[in-house]
Amino acid sequence: MNTDVYQTFVTLAKTLSFSKTAEQLNVVQSTVSSRIVELEKHLDQTLFNRSKRLVELTHAGRVFLPHAEKILKNEQMGIEKLKTIRIYEDKLKICNVGSIYRGKIAGIVNEFYNKYPMYEVDIEFKISEIQVDMLIESEIDIGFLNRKPLSRKIEVRPYMDYHMILVAPSDYPIGHKIEREQLSEIDLSVISHNPQLQEWFDEILPTNYRPRLRINSSIQLRDHIKRGYGCAFLQDFLVKEDIAEGRMKQIEIEGVKPLKLSSYIAINKSRANAEVVQRFLELIPEWDEFKYNI
């Protein structure tokens, strides 16, 4: 069925006037009548009650109206989608955990954005578990995760190792080295969403000790610490600049080694050879070191 017929029906349902409908659609009144008759025959339903003075929707017309509106809306959405395809050659869909993005990936995205204007870019932030599902369902092309996914639909390559270190504002009243027992004496904040971290905290923190602040974002936790919220365990790459410029200081714990963690690049196999994906991956400085290590 031609969508002009649906547009005529929807317009007439709103105006309840054949003459006004013809005027709005820039057609003659007989065209409006013929389109409505065509649709009624197609549906085998009477959509309007007509008289010389009155046009009104029948019950069947009221039931069908939202469906006709949806048909027109879907057509418009399809047209807009095709316009987008004409503008961009392809779309890169990447997903990150916030700390890795802010600490490492943001600059790469900026370089890609400026270097390849022919590509559209979608960026999302999700925890690793959700990213794995999105990769399997082909909702994203590349994910940056804190754990190694296991799926035949995903290529996995190591990205970087990092350490969780104890940091504090540079003026926080504590030395650069403390005993493990002193952890119970400091105003400590921790990241709350990582099971591996929680297990490590349980090992090193005093029994029954409860950190005062828990937050599920490394970025937000870093900002809290910079504003004076005591001490926190944070990724070394995330606070490297703050330490170098004197805004924060690292605190060593006697007898406790910083926890070493790993991150991974996960690639949707169905998109691994797409030019847009390859061009983005080539901008990652470490890529040549592990691009064959699958």
Per-residue pLDDT reduced to its tens digit, 211-220: 888 888 888 8
Instruction: Encode burial over 124-155: b for 16+ CB neighbours within 10 A, e otherwise.
Output: ebbbbebbbebbbeebbbbbbbbbebeeeebb
Alpha-carbon distances of 172 from 34, 187, 223, 228, 229, rounded to whole Å: 81, 10, 15, 8, 9
* Spatial separation of the C-alpha atoms in residues 257 and 233, rounded to whole Å: 12
Q: Residue 16: its pLDDT value, please?
A: 94
Q: Residue 292: its pLDDT value, please?
A: 40
For the four alpha carbons of 110, 111, 117 and 123, in that order, the dihedral sign comes to negative
Instruction: Identify the CA nearest to 127 among candidates 72, 39, 196.
Output: 196
What structural domains and CATH numbers belong to the chain?
3-87 (1.10.10.10), 90-160+262-290 (3.40.190.10), 162-259 (3.40.190.10)
pTM: 0.62
φ, ψ of residue 139 to 5 degrees: the values are -85, -20
The ranges of the chain with pLDDT < 50 are 290-294
